[in-house]
Each structure stands twice: as structure tokens, then as C-alpha cells.
Amino acid sequence: MISVKTKEEIEIMREGGHILAAILESAKDFAKPGVTTMEIDKYVGRLCLKYKVKPAFKGYLDFPSNIITSLNDEIVHGLPSDKKIIKEGDLVSLDFGVLHKGLYTDAAITFGVGEISPLKKKLEEVARKSFFAGVKKVKAGAYLGDASYEIQKYIEDRGFSVIRCLAGHGIGQNIHEEPTIPNFGKKKTGPVLEEGMTLAIEPMIAEKSFELEIDPDGWTYRTVDGGMSAHFEHTIVVTKKGYEILTTGSQK
């Protein structure tokens, strides 16, 4: 069953989302050439203490880190490491969630470090814009499958692949709730959306094939063929006429 949040719960998630956005933007600025992904993780941990929130992923299914750091051909769930050093030209994805006053929010960004190739720039852009292509279909009374269809169409029309075995999700009292939100689908399928539903929609795309494999660390998903990958995500709330992004803005 898909939960519908109260106005009070949505306000808490909005507060948490502002904090998440501030931490994620700071982590992006911190991710310079020569910095390890473990240093990013520790930096985010300090920011969580500053803002008095808990990192949502740490301890979830025994995940050991504060933030997910995925580089280049790593799709998602990249495990921070002292051995992974960011270089000029890398494509970096940061996926982060917070627990604030008992409620979760979740977001992800992909960005280039310094000068990046046209391919990497296009991947980042298509992942981000596919999110907005999908959420344009979100409103009370709409089918969730309409959003999934538009995300898939936007990505595939531009020559990239949709990662198929990973998906977005409902969010709120738990980091992962119903419904599962694939980034591909058919129009007029899936659940009908209601005002107050909170969803984490997250296109994950690949340069070449959508097939993936898991690294020996047991967490990091990467493309089988070495193609580059990008990821973009926001937590949204369904409204009568559309949606509101909760994981944006800044918290002073």
C-alpha cells in the first residue's frame, strides 16, 4: 500500500530535503581532483552532525557509509574508499539521504570534475532532463506509468540505455516504501497517484548496454561493458495539479 503523508509530515520532509540539498551541494564543491571518495564520506558525516540529521543509508542493509559515491562506469551504490581518488575529467554521482525528525528524503546528482568529455556532459544532462520529462506527468489522478514511460522515451530517444533492474521508490517513514518506480514502462499503467504521496524518482542511465555487475566490495554496481553512467534523483510530493520537489533549496 502506498502511504499518503499528512501536511505535517510533508513539512518535516521539506525541512529535511532543504538540509539534504545543502549537504549535497557542499559535497559536490568538496569533490575536487586529488580528493578520495572516503574523504567525501567523512566530510558528509561532519555535515550531518552540523545539521543534526542522520545519514539515511548508513546501516541500512549494513551499508557502511554516509553517502554513495559512484565514478564514471559505476552506476549506483559506489562504496567510498581511500583508494578511489577523484581525477580531472571524472564523472561523479553522489547519492545521499537524510533522516530528519523521523522521516526520510533522498536525492542524487551527477556532475563532471573540471573539464569533461562531450559524452559525459551529455550523459549528465540527459539523466537530469529525463527526470523532469517524467515528473511533468505527475499529479493526483495520473498513472505512475506515464512518468516511467516519459523517462524511458527521453533517454532512449537520445541514444542511451535505461538501467532496468534498479528503480525509484516511495519514501517517508522508511527509506524504501511502495511503490517501486521503474524508469521504463507503458502509459496508463501502474498505480494511480494521490495528493500527498511522496516519491523518490531516480533515472539511472548508461552510455551503452543496461547490463550491470557488482564489484567484489558487494555494493558497487557498474556497467558490464565499461560504458559511462549517470544518475539523478529528487524526492517529490504529489499535489493536486502536479508535484513539488522537496530536496531542493538551502537551509541557513
**What would the pLDDT profile of 196-246 be if each residue is shown by its tens digit?**
999 999 999 999 999 999 999 999 999 999 999 999 999 999 999 999 999
Say if residue 203 is preceded by a cis peptide, omega within 30 of 0: no
CATH class of 7-245: alpha beta
Residue-level pLDDT at 135? 98
Average pLDDT of the chain is 97
10 grid coordinates: 510533508
State yes or no: pLDDT of 252 exceeds 50.
no
State yes or no: pLDDT of 251 exceeds 70.
no
Alpha-carbon distance of 25 to 94, in angstroms, equals 10
Residue-level pLDDT at 55? 98
3-state secondary structure (DSSP) of residue 109: strand
Residue-level pLDDT at 249? 73
Per-residue pLDDT tens digits for 103-128: 999 999 999 999 999 999 999 999 99
State yes or no: pLDDT of 14 exceeds 70.
yes
Percent with pLDDT over 70 in the chain: 99
Per-residue pLDDT tens digits for 21-44: 999 999 999 999 999 999 999 999
Residue 142 Cα distances to 55, 114, 135, 145, 239, angstroms:
32, 40, 11, 9, 11
Residue-level pLDDT at 250? 44
- Is there a contact between 131 and 247 (Cβ–Cβ < 8 Å)? no
- Is there a contact between 68 and 38 (Cβ–Cβ < 8 Å)? no
Per-residue pLDDT tens digits for 157-195: 999 999 999 999 999 999 999 999 999 999 999 999 999
Beta bridge partners of 229: 206
For the chain, the structural domain boundaries read 7-245
Alpha-carbon distance of 44 to 186, in angstroms, equals 38
Alpha-carbon distance of 67 to 43, in angstroms, equals 10
